[in-house]
């Protein structure tokens, strides 16, 4: 469960998030829809513990991130542009990340790269297109099957075939997870998500 109570975020004297109240439950895919500058990415960063709210309560795994902003172990997130070691390929980048928690091995990484159509691609990250970078970011979020998955504009530059595979995969694994997909295009999530949350000027509509 993720619970936000009266969450406000002020940056440079501007109200970026305005009294946000949300309850996100396991077993659902949530779409967070809003234009660029609406507060989507800031809201996701608050949920991840990257940013501390100016006011309010942010409960993730029964811990209040407003009091102690730390990145919860149950979360994997792709927020804004993913960045990796430039000279390594997809597998080697993910292998290094996976070695931190050491809960998955080579097979799980390879299976996830197949899902996003990056298997057997030996290009270094510095040679990746926007779409390839996005796919690697998605793979990082998915590979360890975390309890909470956060994807910010994940399908930018990604070909339709791969988008369809990922969408079907997310539907199949949502049972015990909270999945949040942020986008500026409602059509991206309308047929995928159990619930669509619209944000405008920092407020939930």
- CATH number, domain of 153, equals 3.40.50.300
Tell me the pLDDT band of 198, cut-offs 50, 70 and 90: very high
How far apart, in Å, are the Cα atoms of 189 and each of 10, 117, 183?
28, 21, 8
The burial of 22, by beta-carbon neighbours within 10 Å (0-12 exposed, 13-18 middle, 19 or more buried), is given as middle
Residue 35 confidence (pLDDT): 92
Percent of the chain with pLDDT over 90: 87
Residue 69 confidence (pLDDT): 81
Residue 167 confidence (pLDDT): 95
Kindly state the average pLDDT of the residues 37-42. 93
Q: Are 51 and 16 in contact (CB under 8 A)?
A: no
Pairing of strands 14-24, 63-64: unpaired
Q: Model pTM greater than 0.85?
A: yes
Residue 83 confidence (pLDDT): 86
Q: What is the CA radius of gyration of the chain?
A: 17
For the stretch 153-196, pLDDT in tens is 999 999 999 999 999 999 999 999 999 999 998 888 888 999 99
Characterize 163-188 residue by residue with b for buried, 16 or more Cβ atoms within 10 angstroms of its Cβ, and e for exposed: beebbeebeeebeebbbbbbbeeeeb
Whether the predicted pLDDT of 205 surpasses 90: no
Domain extent, residue 143, equals 2-204
For the stretch 67-93, pLDDT in tens is 888 889 999 999 988 889 999 999 999
Whether the predicted pLDDT of 34 surpasses 90: yes
Percent of the chain with pLDDT over 70: 100
Q: What is the number of structural domains in the chain?
A: 1
For the stretch 40-63, pLDDT in tens is 999 999 999 999 999 999 999 889
């Amino acid at each position: 469960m993720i619970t936000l109570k009266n969450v406000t975020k002020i940056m440079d004297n501007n109200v970026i998030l305005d009294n946000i109240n949300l309850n996100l439950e396991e077993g659902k895919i949530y779409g967070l829809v809003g234009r660029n500058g609406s507060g989507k990415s800031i809201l996701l960063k608050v949920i991840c513990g990257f940013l501390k709210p100016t006011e309010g309560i942010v409960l993730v795994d029964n811990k209040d991130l407003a009091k102690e902003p730390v990145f919860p172990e149950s979360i994997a997130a792709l927020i804004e542009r993913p960045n990796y070691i430039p000279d390594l390929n997809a597998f080697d980048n993910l292998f290094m990340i996976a070695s931190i928690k050491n809960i998955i091995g080579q097979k799980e990484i390879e299976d996830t790269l197949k899902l996003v159509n990056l298997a057997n691609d030996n290009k270094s990250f510095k040679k990746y297109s926007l779409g390839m970078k996005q796919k690697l970011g998605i793979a990082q979020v998915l590979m360890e099957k975390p309890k909470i998955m956060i994807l910010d504009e994940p399908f930018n530059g990604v070909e339709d075939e791969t988008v369809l595979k990922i969408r079907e995969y997310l539907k199949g694994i949502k049972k015990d997870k909270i999945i949040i997909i942020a986008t500026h295009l409602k059509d991206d999530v309308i047929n995928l998500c159990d619930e669509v949350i619209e944000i405008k000027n920092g407020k939930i509509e």
